[in-house]
Structure 1
Amino acid sequence: MATSPNPTRNDFEALLNESLGGAEGGFEGRVVKGTVTAIENDFAMIDVGLKSEGRVALREFSMPGQKADLNVGDEVEVYVDRVENMNGEAVLSRDRARREAAWDKLEGEFAAGNRVDGVIFGRVKGGFTVDLGGAVAFLPGSQVDVRPVRDVGPLMDIAQPFQILKMDRRRGNIVVSRRAILEETRAEQRSGLIQNLTEGQIIEGVVKNITDYGAFVDLGGIDGLLHVTDISYKRINHPSEMINIGDTVKVQIVRINRDTQRISLGMKQLESDPWEGAVAKYPVGARLHGAVTNITEYGAFIELEAGIEGLVHVSEMSWTKK
């Protein structure tokens, strides 16, 4: 830049701005490349081309749970917060540089709906903090796993995929989910497993949950419903009368709905139907002994054998009593 023989204050300001990258596009507020000139105690001295170097804490160059891998002469990117502080040093930040770069990348991944890699490194109220390559995201407790997790320790400080649910750069807010990844993976596994199953197939599974209407059986990565009416031919009031959580049971696949990925199971189908041959075994007019299983206003149900009951109507109980 040419100057007059007697430079004015404006000439000097123009030269200064030029040395710092221009009046509007100066160093401040930008991510620039610098060189590590020295490592002293817990700080690295970085030269970014200003009249003075800046100090950056070594911890800013390390990932959560890891040590900084930094040597003299390395070229690094840092964010220039201020060209000079009260001590005459440049105020630099490696964290801010990583955060700015991470946000640019994450916005692209979020728009494309892609997964991102991150590391759970801390606990906060209602969830956990995740480092996404420089940007810090919030992982709600409900989004850690498909089931409640009592101990998150084994999941911390290791790289794993996450799905971005929401992000707002202006507020610096990112919400991620690990559960969405697991559910997607399980859905893929379920589709693959269902393709290998057929109706009528006999398979072993483990009872994982019991409800009033039946039990859910894990068939090796996919669950099937064993309805209470398909557990036994005899009358039972609750599935726990026949099975318990953790039991290994042999079941038959009764029905598969590949559209909804639902599987209906049966246990009684593995036994012979007691009603086969019942007409010959219990002819009309025969006198039999049985156990009362249920009493209603209109009569009583009598069990002749497991799976076969008969109704004694209230009008058939006595000739004299009403």
Structure 2
Amino acid sequence: MTDMQMPSMEDFEALLNETMSEDSQFEGQVVKGTVTAIENDLAVIDVGLKAEGRVPLREFSVPGAPVELSVGDNVEVFVDRVENANGEAVLSRDKARREESWNHLETAYEKESHVKGVIFGRVKGGFTVDLNGAVAFLPGSQVDIRPVRDVTPLMNIPQPFQILKMDRRRGNIVVSRRAVLEETRAEQRAELLDRLKEGDVVDGVVKNVTEYGAFVDLGGIDGLLHVTDMAWKRVNHPSDVVTIGETVKVQIIRVNQDSQRISLGMKQLEADPWEGIDAKYPVGAKFNGTVTNITDYGAFVELEAGVEGLVHVSEMSWVKKNVHPGKIVSTSQEVEVMVLEVDPDKRRISLGLKQCLENPWEAFAEKFPPDSEVEGEIKNITEFGLFVGLEFDVDGMVHMSDIGWDTAGEEAIAKFSKGDHVKAKVLDVDVEKERISLGMKQLEGDPFADVAAKKKGEIVTCTVTEVNDGGIEVSIADGYTAFIRRSDLARDRGDQRPDRFAVGDKVDALVTNVDRGQRRVSLSIKHWKWPKKKPL
């Protein structure tokens, strides 16, 4: 054994410190190592330090994918400490991936390029995304273009994201899946818009149904199928024609390159029922139809699928005026109508309902010509006369001047009440204007007729019916009365006293005037008993 010079304690300590100093420079760094063994759920890794380190196998897994690690594999790990209390190196695959990922993410953020990630958890207001080791926040509003109720199908699936914000010092990253979808969608839309032409017939899938129509996915771009373009017939609601998820064949009606809007139509694929409409529905012809809609101004009647006409409220009934159409017809009711007018340009047809029914005015005129006697109930009283309900559900009017011979105006109207049953004579029937004139006084003879036949200067015998200070009232004929003024009772002023007469007295009087227009007769006792002397 040869003599060897043994190092001193000081030399050994210096050598150890030098080695430790060299190893300590690896702390906080990402280094390459080799998997030397796999023990249970730990991977033993040699990174060239004095001691090996152990890293949990889960740190080598990626959300949505199984762990793939074998002995001999080269991996990168982060050196937390060169040696712990057990004399082992403290290594981390997660931190190594995070460091590597941050470098890659910063580059992607600067270039505004997409990054791959996996949604793996839920947090308040959104979700967490693994970006190959770096954890990012995905707001709920940035998950999809439209609100997503269930994100479960999107979790643990590698997919692209756009980095919206990032702060390496604070460890904050905000990403968006929606931005990627919108960008992809914009590219698809631009490509589709260039390819789609007005008049093209394409297949699409109904994505959404609203009050005014349906949105149809044409393979990356949505088109609007308006309710008025779904069918030629009336559509109460788009859901009556299409359902979400249904594949439909549509025609491109309009393509707006500026707004990137596409208008679609389904009815355009069918024959237009309005072609030659005036020949199919000539004016004056009668057809059967179905009431489809009722409004304040009338009812719409479907003559065939896609062809509707309007029955105006004025054409619904001969006698029911100022009545809501809903009280005459009901929805889905089968009715017979007459074509009144056809406008092919405006796609309008005017129909009449009452024209298919008997005209009650014509029926009344045929059964009750002028001078016929009728009877009915007073339906209404106005300031100018009485309205009487007659047969055929029509009304006739008795003008106040035709109520009585001796009374007229308000005095004559006041004698009647609504609901009274009265008789009258038909004076005139105007079918075109739907008017019937009635007279009640005409049922009796005109008491003035006999009086009107009297001549001026003729003597008549009268009966006193009333005495007052102004004179006396007398009855000349049956039902006709006249008034003799006080000054015409006697020649002498002292004898011109009405109280000289009593009701029931018979007196003779001279006819001084007959006014047939005013139906008046002037009488005088004075001029009969004391006529003027003729000059000599």
Same fold (TM over 0.5): yes
Alignment of 1:290-309 (within 5 A): 290-305=289-304, 306-309=306-309
Q: Given that residues 203 and 252 in structure 1 are in contact (C-alpha distance below 8 angstroms), is that contact kept between their aligned partners in structure 2?
A: yes
Larger radius of gyration: 2
1:161 corresponding residue in structure 2: 160
Q: Which amino acid aligns with 1:152?
A: T
The whole-number CA distance in structure 2 between the counterparts of 1:232 and 1:223 is 20
The whole-number CA distance in structure 2 between the counterparts of 1:207 and 1:139 is 29
1:216 corresponding residue in structure 2: 215
Q: Which amino acid aligns with 1:19?
A: E
How much identity, in percent, do the aligned residues show? 66
Q: Given that residues 58 and 68 in structure 1 are in contact (C-alpha distance below 8 angstroms), is that contact kept between their aligned partners in structure 2?
A: no
TM superposition shift of 1:42 = 3.5
Render the CA deviation track for 1:160-216: whole Å, top value 9, x for unaligned: 322223322233222333343333323323332333321112233343332110122
Render the CA deviation track for 1:236-269: whole Å, top value 9, x for unaligned: 2212333333444332211111233321111222
Alignment of 1:183-198 (within 5 A): 183-198=182-197
2:134 corresponding residue in structure 1: 135
- Where in structure 2 are there 5+ consecutive unaligned residues? 1-9, 323-536
Alignment of 1:141-156 (within 5 A): 141-146=140-145, 148=148, 150=150, 152=152, 155-156=154-155
TM superposition shift of 1:321 = 3.0
1:103 corresponding residue in structure 2: 102
Q: Given that residues 302 and 312 in structure 1 are in contact (C-alpha distance below 8 angstroms), is that contact kept between their aligned partners in structure 2?
A: no
2:31 corresponding residue in structure 1: 32
2:22 to 15, 19, 24: 19
Q: Given that residues 224 and 262 in structure 1 are in contact (C-alpha distance below 8 angstroms), is that contact kept between their aligned partners in structure 2?
A: yes
C-alpha change, 1:35 and 1:216, in structure 2 (3 Å) is: closer
Q: Given that residues 298 and 310 in structure 2 are in contact (C-alpha distance below 8 angstroms), is that contact kept between their aligned partners in structure 1?
A: no
Q: Given that residues 162 and 180 in structure 2 are in contact (C-alpha distance below 8 angstroms), is that contact kept between their aligned partners in structure 1?
A: yes
The whole-number CA distance in structure 2 between the counterparts of 1:290 and 1:75 is 84
Matched, 1:71 2:71: yes
C-alpha change, 1:76 and 1:200, in structure 2 (3 Å) is: closer
Instruction: Report which structure shows greater RCO (CA 8 Å, sep ≥6).
Output: 1
SS at match of 1:102: helix
Q: Given that residues 214 and 228 in structure 1 are in contact (C-alpha distance below 8 angstroms), is that contact kept between their aligned partners in structure 2?
A: yes
The whole-number CA distance in structure 2 between the counterparts of 1:126 and 1:275 is 55
The number of equivalent residue pairs is 310
Q: Which amino acid aligns with 1:307?
A: V
Q: Which amino acid aligns with 2:88?
A: E
C-alpha change, 1:288 and 1:143, in structure 2 (3 Å) is: same
2:256 corresponding residue in structure 1: 257
The whole-number CA distance in structure 2 between the counterparts of 1:100 and 1:237 is 61
The whole-number CA distance in structure 2 between the counterparts of 1:69 and 1:115 is 28
C-alpha change, 1:149 and 1:310, in structure 2 (3 Å) is: closer
The whole-number CA distance in structure 2 between the counterparts of 1:170 and 1:247 is 51
Render the CA deviation track for 1:260-314: whole Å, top value 9, x for unaligned: 3321111222333333323344444545554443333333434444323134243
- Where in structure 1 are there 5+ consecutive unaligned residues? 1-6
Q: Which amino acid aligns with 1:66?
A: P
Q: Given that residues 61 and 70 in structure 1 are in contact (C-alpha distance below 8 angstroms), is that contact kept between their aligned partners in structure 2?
A: no
The whole-number CA distance in structure 2 between the counterparts of 1:300 and 1:13 is 105
Over the aligned positions, Cα root-mean-square deviation in angstroms equals 3.6
Q: Given that residues 84 and 90 in structure 2 are in contact (C-alpha distance below 8 angstroms), is that contact kept between their aligned partners in structure 1?
A: yes
Q: Given that residues 300 and 308 in structure 2 are in contact (C-alpha distance below 8 angstroms), is that contact kept between their aligned partners in structure 1?
A: no
2:479 corresponding residue in structure 1: none
The whole-number CA distance in structure 1 between the counterparts of 2:204 and 2:161 is 31
Of residues 306-315 and 11-20 in structure 1, the stretch that sits farther from structure 2 once superposed is 11-20
2:180 corresponding residue in structure 1: 181
The whole-number CA distance in structure 2 between the counterparts of 1:318 and 1:44 is 99
Q: Given that residues 142 and 177 in structure 2 are in contact (C-alpha distance below 8 angstroms), is that contact kept between their aligned partners in structure 1?
A: yes
Q: Which amino acid aligns with 2:266?
A: M
1:266 corresponding residue in structure 2: 265
Matched, 1:225 2:224: yes
2:314 corresponding residue in structure 1: 314
TM superposition shift of 1:13 = 11
The whole-number CA distance in structure 1 between the counterparts of 2:241 and 2:138 is 41
SS at match of 1:251: strand
The whole-number CA distance in structure 1 between the counterparts of 2:201 and 2:126 is 43
The whole-number CA distance in structure 1 between the counterparts of 2:131 and 2:179 is 17
Q: Which amino acid aligns with 1:79?
A: F
2:201 corresponding residue in structure 1: 202
C-alpha change, 1:117 and 1:245, in structure 2 (3 Å) is: closer
Q: Which amino acid aligns with 1:226?
A: L
TM superposition shift of 1:227 = 0.7
